[in-house]
Amino acid sequence: TSVGAPVTTSVYNRQVLIHLDQHLSTVCQEFHLKILTGQAQARQSLARPSLFPPLAKSDHVAQRP
């Protein structure tokens, strides 16, 4: 059974990728695929300000003297 484990995991991962491909928009799909492929999640989040509420920017600006 241990020999079949990697195969099962591989098939499961492919099903997840297919699920993402079918049900997520292109932007969300690319974002999730980058996370799954091990790319820097934090940097991807910072690179997409649209994922954060606009209030985050106004708060930083308001804190400046």
pLDDT (0 to 100) of residue 10: 76
pLDDT of residue 11: 78
What pTM was estimated for this model as a whole?
0.22
Burial 26-62 (b: 16+ CB within 10 A, else e): eeeeebbeeeeeeeeeeeeeeeeeeeeeeeeeeeeee
- Percent of the chain whose pLDDT exceeds 90: 0
For residue range 26-56, what is the model confidence (pLDDT) as tens digits? 666 677 677 666 655 445 455 555 555 555 4
Tokens at residue 6, please?
A: 């990697």
Rounded CA separation 18/32 (Å)? 12
